[in-house]
Structure 1
Amino acid sequence: MVSQDDDSSQRVALFLVFGLIALIVASVLVFGASRAGGKPKASTAVAAAPLTQPADAAAPGAAQAAADAASVTVEQGVVKFYFASGKADLAAGASEALADMVKAGKEGRTLVISGFHDATGSAEKNAELAKQRALVVRDALVAAGVSEGHIELKKPEQVNGSGSDAQARRVEISLQ
C-alpha cells in the first residue's frame, strides 16, 4: 500500500512538472508572437542570401517579397536588423540575435544603435521611419535588461552607393 501512495505522489509531481513546462513554452510562444506583431517573418537566411533577380518570370514576385521581409543577421559582431518597406517590426529571432549584445550591455559596455534608410520616397519620412526602427531596437534591448545609459542612438543615415533598398532599410548595433 505504501508503494501505491508513492506512485500517486510521483504522478502528481510529474503532472506538475509537465504542466509547468507547457506553461513556459506557451508563454514563450505568445511573447514571441506579440513581439513579432503576430505575423510570420522570414528566417535569418533571407538576409544573408544575395538579393539577385531570378531568371524565370514566375519568381520575381517571390524574390521581391523575400527581399522586403524583415530579417536579422549577425556579421562580425554587428547585429543587423533588416526591415520590410514602410514597417518598423522586428524580425522573428531578434531576441536570439541580441543575446551577446544584451550580455555586453549588462556588463557596462556601450551599445551603439545606427539607423539607415534607402533613398526612395521622401527623405523626411525615411529618416523618421529609420528613427522609429532604431527606437524599436532600443526598446527590445531595454526590455531584455540593458540600461538606457548603456545605449547610444545615432542620427539616421541615408545609404548611398551599391546595394539594394532592402539592404539599406536596416538598424545596426555595435559595441563601443
Structure 2
Amino acid sequence: MSDDDRDDSRKVGLWVVFSSVAVLLLGVLGFAVVRTMKGPAAPVAQTAAAAASATEAADVLVDYTTTTAALATVYFESGSAALLPDADPALADTVKALAADPGKRVLLSGYHDSTGDPAMNAELAKQRAKAVRAALLVAGIPLNQVLLRKPESTTGTGTEREARRVEIRLVDAQ
C-alpha cells in the first residue's frame, strides 16, 4: 500500500469520525432544545387552564337590579357578537370611570329582541356581554370587577339596533 493510499484512507476515516461526532452533537443539541421548549409549556398550560376556569366561574349570571343610568352602550350587528370599531369610546369611558372609582364594579347587561327562538336570543345576548367583558379585560380591568347580568329582552317600540346592545353600568362592589 502506498503512502497516497494510506493518506486517502486516513482522510476518509477522519471524515467518518468527525461526521459521526457532528451528527451526535446535533442530536444532543436538538434534544436539549426540544426539552427546553417543552419545559415551560406545562406551567403555561396550567395557567391557561386556570384562566379558563376563572372565566367559567365568572360566567355566572347575576340577577342584579339597578336604577343607575347606563354609563355606556355597545351596539352589535344582527346575529353577531363581534365588537364593532365604534365600541372603543364606550370601553374607554368604562376604563376611565373604574380608574376614577376603584370601589365600583361593571355590570354588563346584554339585550335581545322578542322575535325568534328565545333561548338562542338569550345566548347571543350573553355572548355579546362576554365580548364586551373580554375587551375590558384586555384593557386592564380585573375579572373580579366585571359582572354579567342575565340577558334581557327588549319590549316596546325600540329600534332593532336598541335590541342588539350591551349596557355598561357602574355598581357598588359587593
Quote the RMSD (CA, aligned, Å): 1.5
Query: Is residue 142 of structure 1 aligned with residue 137 of structure 2?
Result: yes
Using the size of structure 2 for normalisation, the TM-score is: 0.54
1:167 is matched with: 162
1:99 is matched with: 92
Contact 1:108 1:150 survives alignment (8 Å): no
Q: How far off its partner does 1:91 sit?
A: 1.4
Match of 2:145, as an amino acid? H
Q: How far off its partner does 1:82 sit?
A: 1.4
Q: How far off its partner does 1:89 sit?
A: 1.2
Whole-Å Cα distance in 2 between the matches of residues 162 and 77 of structure 1? 19
Contact 1:118 1:169 survives alignment (8 Å): yes
Relative to structure 2, which stretch is displaced further, 86-95 or 150-159?
86-95
Number of residue pairs aligned between Structure 1 and Structure 2: 101
Equivalent position to 2:153, from 152, 158, 167: 158
Whole-Å Cα distance in 2 between the matches of residues 89 and 160 of structure 1? 23
Structure 1 vs Structure 2: percent identity of aligned residues? 49
Match of 1:128, as an amino acid? E
Name the SS for the 1:152 alignment partner: strand
Distance 1:167 1:77, change over 3 A: closer
Using the size of structure 1 for normalisation, the TM-score is: 0.54
The unaligned stretches of length 5 or more in structure 2 are 1-68
Whole-Å Cα distance in 2 between the matches of residues 136 and 171 of structure 1? 10
Name the SS for the 1:153 alignment partner: strand
Structure 1 runs of 4+ aligned residues shifted over 4 Å read: none
More relative contact order in 1 or in 2 (CA 8 Å, sep 6+)?
2
1:79-98 alignment, distance < 5 Å: 79-98=72-91
Name the SS for the 2:107 alignment partner: strand
Q: How far off its partner does 1:160 sit?
A: 1.1
Contact 1:114 1:154 survives alignment (8 Å): yes
